[in-house]
A and B are shown apart, each in its own frame.
Chain A
């Protein structure tokens, strides 16, 4: 760890291919400050269409902060300042003309801890479509709810008790309910902030399977602490360290032949 400073000085550019051919989200030279503190330092990366990409890195490396830039969740933090440019389909999401409400409908989010609303299972899923006015009538709404629950792999377990509270489900079921809630507004991108860190291995396996399937329809960005999880679910992997994006590449290559010595150190368990 003593060599950290020297390593950082020598590190100016991200190693690997940050660009993507059919990019949906583009981040260019993004800096994030919390007050005086620089949390993200000059990060540039593309996130492709229908691609599952995972962000890995030691705790406090800024991967969650960076993730929350994509749907402007950092707006709620007063001292947070974001520089640079992030675009979705070539539209700058930090442009003054952009309204965050439809933006967040396009970019869904699943949180670390399952956080279903203290409402019924049905109302949890129907919440998004209702506030965005996506359904024409009750029947249509029913369809959206059923479809979302089916895609989240929860329909079979809850179809007979849609009116019971969502908080009564098990942790894994709650997290799948949150995923169903996110996809009910048909987003284009789903951001997942350590979605399995509060779950047991069986529930984790189910969520990972789900991510795998959803990857065929949505762009998914998943922040994870588990390198095995990153290896299992994602095609691309980005390694963050102290606010910098160190290396991006195909997951297989990152885990078998990391090019940067820091990535290698993290993957082999020397730091983090």
Chain B
């Protein structure tokens, strides 16, 4: 709450500078008879940004930084008999102190915790005073500096453009850095996994059985009971994705062709949003549709035909996943088919093609790169899909090409491994990161390939 008021005050100060700057600029405009470089509000905006941005920057740096600082400083307040204890963990001690600071007191905490909490509280008070005074001072000083810069020759429009460009660039950098950070965290954990399990066993092993953590792998010379061969998982993933594509590609592509070439504009306005609703259904809903409706249906119809269908079959998961990715195929394909220039269709009709010939021989070949790209994007979506397979595909890591049997996928294994309490040092838990890394690499490659296909063939028409 306190921080909130501070932010409001900083904002108010910057607004005051905006009006000061605006007024000054208008005055200058009168004095110099319209020879001002930029419009008056750019001068005000410059003063506002000059006041706001540095103080906001300092505010965020300090509020993030003081926790780090305090946790280092508090170390000397933890008595030696605590730090020397066998199961001492600094993070736990820190959590105890923090809880005490927050007023979350369970039972009677040790005396040293209460003491350290008191010290911490006093630090917080000091730091708050420092933050407030520094932020307010910065906003006033830098705002005044921005205000002083206002004269008839100052190019405030260019300066404001530059500041805004920097802000926009910073936002895009955040997204990129987050992605890189995610990948790095996964890479580090995977490296720890590959220190326990050889990489070739992981990539080429055909048995996936992480359930029993046997004797320690390294050191004792004894083989563990668990096995980490990822092939059955990837085979299951691709089997289900393949079934999904067999559903989604024809249905999605044909509906895209119908919508863009045959449907009247009324039908199109009705059907296209309806189809896109499919993309908005949460995957968990598809998941129980697959598990509770499709799978039993397949099982009973299989028994009529004398086939033995597992109650959690790859077929059920694949079919439902196929329905889920129809909108990805149809919506994107529809866009690319629409983007084929009308002049090509006219040329086809002008030569006496029927509608069907025009679509098949002219429009589709011209739209093919985009269609292929939409299919590849749908594949990477299917490979990464989790909820449906968790609910409908089962957990048995069978290496099979039979869609009627239960298989498991990479994503559902990651979920089962990481759900619940886990020991973060065991190969079982770490294997989730190795799986995730492999999966990311595969989908990344597919997305790159899709982009490449689109780029390569884009110049072919128009």
Contacts and interface: CB of A to CB of B under 8 A. Distances in A.
State whether these chains interact.
Answer: yes
Interface of A: 71, 73, 76, 78, 100-105, 108-109, 111, 113, 115-119, 127-128, 131-132, 165, 167, 178, 181-182, 185
A104 B350 contact: yes
Contacts of B349: 73, 76, 104
Contacts of B343: 111, 113, 115
A178 B461 CA distance: 15
B302 interface: no
Contacts of B361: 127, 131
A131 B351 contact: yes
B352 A117 contact: no
A116 B366 CA distance: 11
B128 interface: no
A117 B350 contact: no
Contacts of A132: 352
A104 B353 CA distance: 8
B350 A109 contact: yes
A102 B351 CA distance: 9
A111 B352 contact: no
A119 B361 CA distance: 10
Contacts of A104: 349-352
B350 A111 contact: yes
Contacts of A109: 346, 350
Given A117-B344, A167-B461, A127 B365 contact: no
Given A78-B264, A131-B357, A178-B347, A118 B460 contact: yes
A118 B366 contact: yes
A178 B343 CA distance: 12
Nearest to A78: B264
Interface in B18-50: none
12 contacts: A109-B346, A109-B350, A111-B346, A113-B343, A117-B365, A118-B365, A118-B461, A127-B361, A128-B351, A132-B352, A167-B460, A185-B352
A21 B343 CA distance: 35
A101 B354 contact: yes
A116 B460 CA distance: 11
Nearest to B350: A109
B9 interface: no
B341 interface: yes
Contacts of B132: none
Contacts of A111: 343, 346-347, 350
Contacts of B354: 101
A73 B351 contact: no
A109 B350 CA distance: 6
A132 B461 CA distance: 25
Nearest to A105: B352
Interface in B427-453: none
Nearest to B346: A111
Contacts of A116: 347
Given A118-B365, A167-B460, A182 B352 contact: no
A131 B460 CA distance: 23
Among B344, B347, B460, chain A packs the most CB atoms within 10 A around the CB of B347
B366 A115 contact: no
B362 interface: yes
Interface residues of B, number: 20
A73 B354 CA distance: 12
Q: Which 9 A-B pairs have the closest CB atoms?
A: A104-B352, A109-B350, A115-B343, A118-B461, A105-B352, A118-B460, A128-B351, A115-B347, A101-B352
Contacts of B264: 78
B370 to A, nearest CB: 12
Nearest to A128: B351
A182 B461 contact: no
B351 A127 contact: yes
B354 to A, nearest CB: 6
Nearest to B343: A115
Contact of A105 (B347, B348, B351): B351
A266 B444 CA distance: 63
A44 to B, nearest CB: 25
Nearest to A181: B351
A178 B346 CA distance: 12
A254 to B, nearest CB: 28
B172 to A, nearest CB: 34
A254 B75 CA distance: 103
A117 B357 contact: no
A128 B352 contact: yes
Given A117-B344, A131-B352, 16 more contacts: A73-B350, A100-B352, A101-B352, A105-B351, A111-B343, A115-B346, A116-B347, A117-B362, A118-B365, A118-B460, A127-B348, A127-B361, A128-B351, A131-B351, A132-B352, A165-B460
B337 to A, nearest CB: 14
Contacts of A128: 351-352
Contacts of A78: 264
A57 to B, nearest CB: 21
Given A111-B347, A117-B344, A117-B347, A102 B362 contact: no
B343, B347, B351, B361 — most chain A CB neighbours (10 Å):
B351
A67 to B, nearest CB: 11
Interface in B212-231: none
A197 B353 CA distance: 26
A135 B346 CA distance: 23
A53 to B, nearest CB: 19
Contacts of B341: 115
B344 A108 contact: no
Contacts of B351: 104-105, 108, 127-128, 131, 181-182, 185
B358 to A, nearest CB: 9
A165 B352 CA distance: 22
